[in-house]
Structure 1
Amino acid sequence: MPKVSICIPAYMQVAYLKECLLSISEQTIKDYELIISDDSPDDSVYNLIKQFDFGGRLKYFKNSSPLGSPKNWNFAIQHATSDLIKLMHHDDSFSSPQSLEKFISLMDENPTANFGFSASKVKNVTNNKSWIHTASERQVAQIQTNPELLILGNLIGSPSSTIYRRNINIEYDNKLKWLVDIDFYIRVIQQGNKIVNTQEAFITTPTNASHQVTEECINNCQLELYEYTTLYLKNQDQVSGNTSINNHLLGILAKYRIFNKKALHLEPYFTSQQIDVLEQLLVRFKNQPIIKFIYYVYWWQNGPLFLIKIIRFLIHQAYSLLSLIRLLYNPKNYKNQ
């Protein structure tokens, strides 16, 4: 049995996939199996992989009809035989020839941890700028205790930056598209799995690429409201009293200028429970006009750009100061602020 299963759910984009496969072929450790699940409507992926020789370690599956994301992720993972699962998006790549070996060492050196992740080098394809996406020790400790805080922001990164033991036995939720990774991470940690991380970037990932799911989902009102309310309901007992998470959802409503029920136009696929969550949040705008005013100003879009940036900076600073005051006044309640 190989040490690790590298699972790639592929869909066209052969230029990115070629870079990904090249980075795999250059890895110093060869004790792996490579599983490619191909959702492409053509033979572009198959024709590409014929150019590579992985020494019999490659398992290729061509889906007769596209499974879509994330069902294709789960399909690839279901064919893994190793104890360690290394999901790789086809447009991501290993940062160095030692990356896979370091991923494995991260888990071997922490045998009580079932889930690990590294930092990521993020490259903006529009301006060629790059930065390191990483989580601090304090942030990792926070999400280990309160994984629901990931709703506020994905501190872990894309699934390509993760490695986990197959025995966690959790799949990605096929009903989700944008927040599917956050939902997965929350459920993994809620199950009691210990997490481990490194601030070294083992993965390089693009951003602002037109083919990415994030680009398809961003500024999609119905999708954002559907997925955030889905996560809210899944974790309702943990988040219903969390001021930061409730404010985060209010910010999404304000982003789309939804300040009352009349402006809440939802598609028929929303459940009554999701509608109830949104309507309960809107009550806060009605009962707390100051919050409504702050969000209205924050998402003000018709003024000069420099003025909008100044306003948003001041609001961020005011919110941080308010959180600090609450912490000093009552430290026991900090986790809910």
Structure 2
Amino acid sequence: MSHPRVSVVVPAYNNEPFIRQTMSSVLEQDGVDLELIVADHSSKDATWDAMGEFADDPRVRLLVTPAGGGAEANFNRVSAEARGDLIKLLPGDDYLLPGSLRRQVAILDENPAAVLTAARRRLVDARGDVVVNAYGLKGVRGPMRGAEAIRHTVRAGSNVFGEPGSVLMRRQALDAAGLWDFRFPYLVDQATYINLLLQGDFIPDAEPGAVFRLNNGQWSVALTDYQYQQVSSYHRDLRQRRPDILTEGDVRVGNRNAWLMAQRRRVTYRILKKRMSS
């Protein structure tokens, strides 16, 4: 049995209002030999029933992740099932823009030393209204060696690559990294990308490729303190592990920028929470 070129994997949990759009956005991608793997992790709503509407498509595999283990269990379970050379993890409330998968596959095909590419993304609120049309890749001007990309995102004090739906990775590199890195839960995306970038290069995709849905659970001022603590702790950990890549100056700059971003989030969260509640 031949393997698909690309695996799009979806760790679903209580995504019944959005999972149909998520899955449709993958299956409607053109010019790509793909499989779509969706794992439901003990949802309390009708997510499983909504997923089942796509069961007749031969490209679709539906899984159940047993209760327990949180997001880490579902991320790793659904990713471990991937058979494609390339893999994209797409959260169950986000979706892809038309043509994005074909474009990202071409980027990695043209750059064999690259282990991942990331697109800019569109931010929408829970109703689907656009908040920002093209966001991400701050300060990225072109291809980067892995170590350069790592320093850049650390010094920025934030994940410049974006949420998983914006990223296409080489599955072999993700496997070699031990799948998803949840040691610092708020930084799982960035930490995992960095583990891959220790193995190869980064190529940006300047076009918007995915839609990230903001939700009310993200609008917590208290959460900004936790986010900053996670970022600064991760920077120190990475510096200790890889002093050949990060200097103390890189960590200081990154922590300062992370603190400034946390203050901006406080204001932004209040504004957007009010908007989304109206």
Place the TM-score, normalised by the shorter chain, in its bin. Answer: 0.7 to 0.9
* Aligned with residue 181 of structure 2, among 150, 153, 173: 173
Matched residue, 1:155: 160
1:195 aligns with 2:202: yes
| Greater percentage in helix | 1
SS of aligned partner of 1:138: coil
Q: 1:217 to 1:194 in 2, by over 3 A?
A: farther
- In the alignment of these two chains, the number of paired residues is 253
Q: Deviations over 1:247-278 (max 9, x none)?
A: 3466589x6xxxxxxxxxxxxxxxxxxxxxxx
Question: Residue 37 of structure 1 contacts residue 62 of structure 1 at CA under 8 Å; is this kept in 2?
Answer: yes
**Long gaps (5+) in structure 1:** 256-297, 302-337
Structure 1 stretch 121-130 or stretch 18-27: which is displaced more? 121-130
Q: How does 1:253-268 map to 2 (within 5 A)?
A: none
Pair 1:29–1:251, CA change in 2 (3 A): closer
Please state how far the C-alpha of 1:178 moved relative to its aligned partner: 1.2
Percent identical among aligned pairs is 21
Instruction: Give the conservation status (yes or no) of the 8 Å contact 1:118–1:162.
Output: yes
Q: For the residues of structure 2 that align with 1:70 and 1:46, how far apart are their CA atoms?
A: 19
Distance 1:166 1:120 in 2: 22
Which is bigger in relative contact order (C-alpha 8 A, separation at least 6)?
2
1:213-266 CA distance string (max 9 Å, x none): x4468635356424531332222331423341243466589x6xxxxxxxxxxx
| CA shift in 2, pair 1:220/1:9, >3 Å | same
Q: Which segment drifts farther, 47-56 or 15-24?
A: 47-56
TM-score (norm 1): 0.66
AA aligned to 1:230 is: Y
1:244 maps to 2:248: no
Structure 1 44/250 Cα, relative in aligned 2: closer, same or farther at 3 Å? closer
Residue by residue over 1:280-304, the C-alpha shift from the partner in whole angstroms, topping out at 9 and shown as x without a partner, is xxxxxxxxxxxxxxxxxx99x9xxx
Distance 1:7 1:43 in 2: 20
CA contact (8 A) 1:6 1:86 kept: yes
- Partner residue of 2:234? 230
CA RMSD of aligned residues (A): 3.0
SS at match of 1:69: helix
- C-alpha distance 20-10 of structure 1, shift in aligned 2 (>3 A): same
DSSP 3-state at the match of 1:2:
coil
Distance in 2 separating the partners of 1:30 and 1:42: 33
State the TM-score, normalizing by the size of structure 2.
0.78
CA–CA separation in structure 2 for the residues paired with 1:230 and 1:25: 36
What is the Cα deviation at residue 142 of structure 1? 8.2
User: Alpha carbons of 1:67 and 1:134: their partners in 2 closer, same or farther (altered >3 Å)?
Assistant: same
The Cα of 1:123 is off from its aligned counterpart by 1.9
Which residue is equivalent to 1:56? 58
Task: Structure 2: give runs of 5+ residues left out of the alignment.
Answer: 268-278
Greater C-alpha Rg: 1
Please state if 1:110 is matched with 2:111.
yes
